Structure 1
């Protein structure tokens, strides 16, 4: 699996490219096919970022990532 830096991850914000990536606990997930992440936004969360800290305040658990395969490590 490849490695992405935070700067590289930021390029996949759903605005500049069609791909929508987020990181969680050191892994990067491609959420491009998720209907909940249209245009790189999911409620008050934005794609292209590490959402590890933000997930603590979410109304759901980290199990939401179970349906997505990690595509990279976050460096």
Structure 2
């Protein structure tokens, strides 16, 4: 598994680079193909960030990440 820094993750925000990535519990997921993450925004959440702290406010569980491709680990 490849390792990425917070700075590298931040570039995958749907604006600076075409990829749209988010992290959860140290794992980075590619959400580029999700219609819910168009332009790097999902409701009040922004791509290119670690969403671990924010999942508690979501109307869904963390199992939502299971449908996305794992890109690497956040270090």
Structure-1 residue corresponding to 2:43: 43
Q: Which consecutive unaligned segments of at least 5 residues does structure 1 have?
A: none
Residue 23 (structure 1) shift? 0.2
Q: Which consecutive unaligned segments of at least 5 residues does structure 2 have?
A: none
More divergent stretch after superposition (60-69 vs 38-47)? 60-69
TM-score normalised to the size of structure 2? 0.97
Give the total of aligned pairs.
Answer: 75
Q: How does 1:1-75 map to 2 (within 5 A)?
A: 1-75=1-75
